[in-house]
Amino acid sequence: MSASHIVVSNVNKVFQSAEREVVALKDINLEIPQGQFVCLLGPSGCGKSTLLNAVAGFAPPSSGSITADGKAVTGPGPERGMVFQEYALFPWMTVADNIAFGLQIKGQPKAQIQATVDQLLTMLSLQDFRNRYPKDLSGGMRQRVAIARVLALDSPIMLMDEPFGALDALTRRNLQDELLRIWAELKKTIIFVTHSIEEAIYLADRIVVMTYRPGTVKRDLLIELPRLRDPASAEFNALKRELGQLVMEEQQRHHHDELRLAAVD
Amino acid sequence: MVATSSWRQVGIGLVLPAVIIALWQAVAQLGWVNPQVLPSPLAVAEKWVAYLLPLQPYDAAAGSWLHWAVSGELITDSLSSLYRVLLGFLIGGGLALPLGLAMGMSPRVYDWFNVLVQMVRPVPPIAYIPLSMLWFGLGNPPAVFLIALGAFFPVLMNTIAGVRQVDGIYIRAARNLGASGFTMFTRVILPAAVPYILSGVRIGIGTAFIVVIVAEMVAVNNGLGFRILEAREYFWSDKIIAGMITIGLIGLAIDVGMNKLNNYLLRWHRGLEN
C-alpha cells in the first residue's frame, strides 16, 4: 500500500451548549492509504458525520489534527469533494451547469469544461438529462449528478455522507455498483458514512465501527471478500452478524441515553 | 385537454361579471337610479371609447399616424401614470435591492439599518404627501418620490428575508466546490434569494400602482388618478368609472406580465416547494 492519504490524529470534538456539553469525537486516530474505500459505520449520534465534516473542513475539530494529501485541513475545498445525503444540487442550475460549476470556479477554459461535463454525463448515464433542472429528476438521478459534480473536480478524495440513505433499495444497489465501478476506474480515496451494515460490507475495503457518545473507534476491520460481493453468501452474512452485534450494542446505548434525557426533561 | 379545461375555467369565471353587468344595465335602463350617480354600463363603455380615441381628426401635416393614434386622453393619461410607476419603482426598488442584499448578507449592516427601517416602514407612503409637496412642489417629482417610497419597503424586506433564508446546504456545497466571495454571492446566494425578491417586486409594483393614483389626485394634473378626480368635479360619473376600469385593466396587465416574468425566471423552482 502507498503512503497514508488522510491522517486523522488525536481528534476530539466537543459541542458546547448552555445546558450540557456533548463529546462527539474522542481521541480518533485513523490513517487511510491512497485509494482505500473506508466506511464509517454506527448508529446516529456516534459522530460519524461529525468526523466526515471535520475531514471536509466544515467543522474543525476541537483538538487534534487532520491532514489530507500531506496538507493540514483548514477549511472546505475542492480537493476533498463531498456528496451530501440531501444531494445539495443547485436547483437554479441545469444538470450540466451543476457539474460545470466547480470547474468554472477553477477558471478552466470553456471547451475543456464542456469536454469534462460530456464525459461525466456519459459515465453516469445522464446524457439525456443535460438540460434538465434538479426538480425534474428522481432521487437516484439527483445523486448521480451530485457524484458527477464532485468527480468533475478531479479530487483524489471523495467524502460521502449517507449518500444513498434516501433512496429505495433497488436504486440504492444500482448506485452502489456504479460507485464501485467508478472507484475501481478512478482510484479515489473514499470515506463513506452509513448506518447500513449491509451497505458497508458491500462497498468497503475497510469498516470503521464507531461508538455512541463519545464517538470513538470501536472496531477497525478490513473486508477482504472479493468484489462484486454477494450479500447472500455465507461469508457476507457472517460479517453481517459480527458487525450487527457491534452496532446493536451502540444502538442500545443510544436508546438508553434518549430515555434518560427524556426522563430529565 | 388542458386547453379546453382552461377555456372552461375562463367561461365559468365570466358568468358572474356578465350577470352583474346585465343587472346593472337593467337597473339603469329602468330608471331606478340617477344616471349621474350610476350611469349605465353602455354609457360607460361609450365614454371609455370616446376617452380612448384621439380628440382631433387625423391630419397628416400635424405628425405621424402613430402619434395621432395615441393622442387620446386615456392613452396619454395611462402612459404618464405608467411612466411614473416605472420610474418610481426603478428608483425605490433599485435602492432597496442592494441595501436588502447587504442587510441580508451582513449582520453588521443589518444592525446598523434595522431599527431605522423598522421605524420608518410603518408610515404609509400616503402620509408623506404633504411633505413631498413641500419638498418637490407639484408634478412628477413628488409623485415619483411617493411611488419610490411605496416600492422601497416591500422589495427591501423580501430581499433581506430571501438572502437570510438561503439553505445552508447550498452554501456548504458551494464552499466545498471552491466558491467564495463574489462567485458565492452571484451564483448561489442571489439566485437562491430570487423567489423572495420577485415576490417583493410584485408587492412593490402593486404598492407603486396604488400610490401613483393617489399622488396624481393631489399633486399632478394629468394621469389616471388626476382624470377621475377631475371627472368628479364635472359630475361625469361615466368618465370616473371608465377611468377606474382602465386602472383595473392596467393593473391586470402588470400582474400578468409579472406572472410571466416569474414563471420564466423561476422555471427551475416550480413544484420545488413540495
Chain A partners of B184 at a C-beta cutoff of 8 Å? none
* A212-233 pLDDT per residue, tens: 989 999 999 999 999 999 999 9
Does a structural domain hold residue A249?
A: yes
pTM: 0.84
Does a structural domain hold residue A100?
A: no
A207 phi-psi bin (left φ>0, alpha ψ -120 to 50, beta other)? beta
- Please check whether residue A180 touches B, CB under 8 A: no
Distance from C-alpha of B28 to C-alpha of A167, rounded to nearest angstrom = 67
Residue A166, burial from CB neighbour count under 10 angstroms (0-12, 13-18, 19+): middle
Angle at A209 between CA A206 and CA A214, to 5 degrees: 145
Distance from C-alpha of A262 to C-alpha of A242, rounded to nearest angstrom = 31
Does a structural domain hold residue A40?
A: yes
Sequence-separated (6 or more) residues with CB below 8 Å from residue B30: none
> What's the number of CA atoms in the CB half-sphere (13 Å) around residue B114?
10
How close is the nearest chain A Cα to the Cα of B184, in Å? Answer: 10
Q: How far is CA A177 from its chain centroid?
A: 15
Angle at B212 between CA B208 and CA B216, to 5 degrees: 170
Chain B partners of A56 at a C-beta cutoff of 8 Å? 176
Q: Which three cell numbers stand for residue B73?
A: 386622453
- Please check whether residue A77 touches B, CB under 8 A: yes
Q: What is the DSSP letter of B139?
A: S
Per the CB < 8 Å rule, is A105 touching B271?
A: no
Per the CB < 8 Å rule, is B176 touching A86?
A: no
Does a structural domain hold residue A112?
A: no
Per the CB < 8 Å rule, is B172 touching A76?
A: yes
**A76, A90, A133: residue with CB nearest B175:** A76
- For chain A, the average pLDDT equals 93
Does a structural domain hold residue A171?
A: yes
Distance from C-alpha of A19 to C-alpha of A10, rounded to nearest angstrom = 26
* A87-121 pLDDT per residue, tens: 999 999 999 999 999 999 999 999 999 999 999 99
* Residue A1 banded pLDDT, cuts 50, 70, 90: very low
A227: containing domain? 4-79+155-264
Tell me the ipTM for this assembly.
0.90
CA-nearest residue to A135 within chain B is B272
Distance from C-alpha of A136 to C-alpha of A117, rounded to nearest angstrom = 19
- Looking at the 3D structure of chain A, how many domains does it have? 1
Interface of B with A (CB under 8 A): 169-170, 172-179, 183, 187-188, 191-192, 194, 267-272
How many A×B Cβ pairs under 8 Å?
A: 66
DSSP-assigned beta bridge partners for residue A23: A14
Q: Residue B222: helix, strand or coil by DSSP? A: coil
* Residue A253 banded pLDDT, cuts 50, 70, 90: confident
- Please check whether residue A75 touches B, CB under 8 A: yes
CATH (domain of A168)? 3.40.50.300
Does a structural domain hold residue A44?
A: yes
CA-nearest residue to A136 within chain B is B268
HEC string for chain A: CCCEEEEEEEEEEEEECCCCEEEEEEEEEEEEECCCEEEEECCCCCCHHHHHHHHHCCCCCCEEEEEECCEECCCCCCCEEEECCCCCCCCCCCHHHHHHHHHHHHCCCHHHHHHHHHHHHHHCCCHHHCCCCHHHCCHHHHHHHHHHHHHHCCCCEEEEECCCCCCCHHHHHHHHHHHHHHHHHHCCEEEEEECCHHHHHHHCCEEEEECCCCECEEEEEECCCCCCCCCCCHHHHHHHHHHHHHHHHHHHHHHHHHHHHHHHC
- Please check whether residue A229 touches B, CB under 8 A: no
DSSP-assigned beta bridge partners for residue A80: A157
**A58, A78, A90: residue with CB nearest B170:** A90
| Each residue's pLDDT expressed in tens, for chain B with a length of 274 residues | 455 678 888 899 999 999 999 999 999 989 898 888 899 999 999 999 999 988 888 877 777 888 888 888 999 999 999 999 999 999 999 999 999 999 999 999 999 999 999 999 999 999 999 999 999 999 999 999 999 999 999 999 999 999 999 999 999 999 999 999 999 999 999 999 999 999 999 999 999 999 999 999 999 999 999 999 999 999 999 999 999 999 999 999 999 999 999 999 998 987 655 3
Does a structural domain hold residue A224?
A: yes
Does a structural domain hold residue A94?
A: no
